[in-house]
Amino acid sequence: MALENEKDNELFEEQPQVEVETSDRQELLDEVLAEEPKTTPKSAKQEKKPFDPRRLKAGSIATALTVIVVAAIILLNVVVGLVEKKFPMTLDTSAIGLYTLSDEAEAFVKGIDKEVTVTVCMPESELSSPQIGIEEFDNTYKQLHAALADFTRLSNGKVTVKYIDLASDPTAAAELAKLGADDGDILFTCGELTRVTTLAEDYTNYGITELQSYYQYYYSLPTITSMVENTLAVNIHAVTADKDTTVTILTGHKEESPTVSVLESLLKQQGYRVEQVNITTAATFAADSRMAVIPAPAEDYTDAEITALRTWLQNGDKYERHLLYFPSMACSTPKLDTFVEDTYGVKISGDVVFQPNAANRPQVSNSYAYYFSYATTAASDFTEAGTRVMNAMNRVLYKSDKAAGQLSTLYAFPEGTQMQAVLDEKAEPVDTTDTNAIGAILAYNVSNQCESYAAVFGGTMMLQYFDSMPENEALVTAVVNGILGNEGAAELPGKTVTDNTLFNVETMSAAYTLFVIFAILLPVATLVVCLLVFLKRRHL
């Protein structure tokens, strides 16, 4: 073993020894290290990138733009909200403009000069989203909700609308009950003057109860006309007037019920207070009433009743009280007719209009067709010439020599119209021919600078045809409003609310187009832009 170690030492000593300088050894180490790949353990912290001013600038601009865009969106929403309150950005898709005020209604609203409060006695949701079960009434309720909003917006703060749920507010219900308003009613208030309308009856030409009876009998519904604009206008006009106006309907002599009903409805629609007074039992008439209406009595007045009527009209020689008279078509009332002739100069004959010319009468398929006839209005204080109206069983009127004042024809029948004796005491009916037989007369008397009007219509059937002949209603309305100095409540046009005229293809297409643009395309475009900005910022 020792021998082997000695041999190894000898061999080692025989090999030449190479001395490496320190500087050469360092250079060699550097070369080796340079050839090895530089690796960093995953746990080691990466070196920070050097500061780049361009990144700071780009980030600042992006942040500023984000703040500006957000602020712009908020500002736009605020501005749009304010503008929407002043100019609602809605689209009326009905073919008849049901939810848009007519030009006449808009002009009326802008002319309101007194503060009016409209109290709707029901929750707003029941008016904006009604569930009546009759589509036409649902549409009318929605129209009323939209119209009230427009009245508030366009009246420059003069009209205020309040919705009160009477079931949840018994205190308010008690206060409103004192004013005659109940659940479903709409109360108009201006100062001390008030008017109450019934939602189910006063805002269409048919009430709900009437329609239900009509449907049960005919198994269909008639054409329903919305009177929303007219009802709002006439009631606001009534409460903003200088004083209240009352009209008295005289009863007690078996007056025609349909005539009383139609006249009461017409007068209420024009904003008048209407009272019914039984002249056979009433000691006096209402002191504040300005017109007496006699609706086709089947029995004549007594001398005492004639005296009471005359005394009331004279008003202590102040007059300013007026008469609206519809004589009966089938019953003779000589004392009452004589009073009208002596006081106002209007003679009422016992002959009724008989129309042999088919072109001058409506198409009526019954045995009384010849007693229907068209007539033409004449120029008077309150009517214009040339409008065609229609009446049936119209008693012919004459201008008497007893007239103390001015007499004007309201409407007359065309040439060739005949008259048939019905109420005169004659053995047999006799046909006579008269040129331009007069069907209605307006009398005007002045005494001591005090005026008194009387309007006499020869028949009541014209009242039953208000729906098919709106010119009839317009004539009666114009005469009544003219006599009472209420021209400011001129009737606004109604709107038909049946389904077949409710939707307009063009406006529906416009609505769909706007929906696609604002509900689909604009949000999608916004998302795409935001995504592009996000991706762009990732590479900055």
Q: Looking at residue 35, what is its pLDDT?
A: 58
> Taking the chain, what is the end-to-end CA distance rounded to the nearest angstrom?
76
Cite the residue boundaries of each domain of the chain with CATH code 3.40.30.10: 100-241
Give the count of alpha carbons within 13 A of 296, CB side only: 22
Tokens (6 digits) for 48: 């920070």
Q: Looking at residue 429, what is its pLDDT?
A: 45
- Over residues 308-353, the pLDDT tens digits come to 999 999 887 787 899 999 999 888 899 999 999 999 999 999 899 9
Q: Looking at residue 36, what is its pLDDT?
A: 54
Q: Looking at residue 58, what is its pLDDT?
A: 60
Where does 361-505 show beta strands of DSSP type E?
A: 372-377, 388-392, 395-399, 406-412, 418-421, 431-433, 438-447, 450-457, 495-496
Contacts of 463 (CB under 8 A, 6+ apart): 258, 259, 262, 263, 266, 326, 472, 476
Contacts of 423 (CB under 8 A, 6+ apart): 330, 331, 332, 350, 351, 395
- pLDDT values of the chain reduced to their tens digit, one per residue, 540 residues: 554 555 555 544 555 554 545 566 666 666 655 655 555 555 545 555 565 566 556 666 667 766 776 777 777 667 766 655 555 555 545 555 677 888 888 888 998 989 999 999 999 999 988 888 778 888 888 989 999 999 999 999 999 999 999 999 999 999 999 988 999 999 999 988 888 998 888 888 877 887 777 777 777 777 888 889 888 988 898 888 877 789 999 999 999 999 999 999 889 878 888 999 999 998 777 788 999 999 999 999 999 999 999 999 988 778 789 999 999 988 889 999 999 999 999 999 989 999 989 899 888 777 788 899 999 999 999 999 999 999 999 999 999 887 778 999 999 999 888 888 876 554 344 445 555 799 999 999 876 667 889 999 999 999 988 878 889 999 999 999 999 988 665 567 667 776 544 444 444 455 556 566 666 777 777 777 777 766 666 655
How many Å apart are CA 154 and CA 330, to the nearest integer? 51
Q: Looking at residue 427, what is its pLDDT?
A: 35
CATH (residue range 100-241): 3.40.30.10
Contact 452, 319 (CB under 8 A): yes
How many Å apart are CA 370 and CA 115, to the nearest integer? 53
Homologous superfamily in CATH for domain 245-483:
Class I glutamine amidotransferase (GATase) domain (3.40.50.880)
Q: Looking at residue 19, what is its pLDDT?
A: 53
Q: Looking at residue 430, what is its pLDDT?
A: 45
Contacts of 320 (CB under 8 A, 6+ apart): 290, 450, 451, 452
- Over residues 207-241, the pLDDT tens digits come to 788 777 777 777 777 788 888 988 898 889 888 88
- pTM, entire model: 0.66
Cite the residue boundaries of each domain of the chain with CATH code 3.40.50.880: 245-483
Q: Looking at residue 208, what is its pLDDT?
A: 81
Angle between helices 135-154 and 103-110 (to 10 degrees): 40
